[in-house]
Amino acid sequence: MTRRRRNSLERFKVLNDFVDVGMAQLSRSEIAVYLIVFRDTKPTGLARTSRTELARRGGMTERQASRALTKLINRGAIHVVRRGFKSKVALYSLYPPDVLAEINPGLRSWIDGTAEPPDD
């Protein structure tokens, strides 16, 4: 199986698990935030977005978007790769670190703690 095919299967496994296991317990804001991050996830396994963008695209206030994102992070549904600061937006992943390292081997040193988080 090719790497691209394996990554595609992993992407839909993540979505299937979200729908089958956790979605019924989430608020509308949490579902919207998750789906926006899912949609923004690139083949590298990373999604770049700001809380302002999550709010705008999800039809909610920034405060609702922030709360929804925090709840999803605490549940383990979304993982923070790099926190947003100044002019840099945050990087997120829907994949646990071990799966993210398989999808994007260039992140392995960051996941191991031997390098800084990536820029993109």
pLDDT of residue 60: 97
Q: Give the span between the Cα atoms of 92 and 60, in whole angstroms.
A: 20
Contact criterion met (CB below 8 Å) for 68 and 30: yes
What is the pTM for the complete model shown?
Answer: 0.84
Question: Domains (ranges, CATH) in the chain?
Answer: 3-112 (1.10.10.10)
pLDDT of residue 118: 64
Residue 48 forms beta bridges with which residues?
A: 91
The residue ranking higher by pLDDT, 16 or 2, is: 16
Q: pLDDT at residue 6 above 60? A: yes
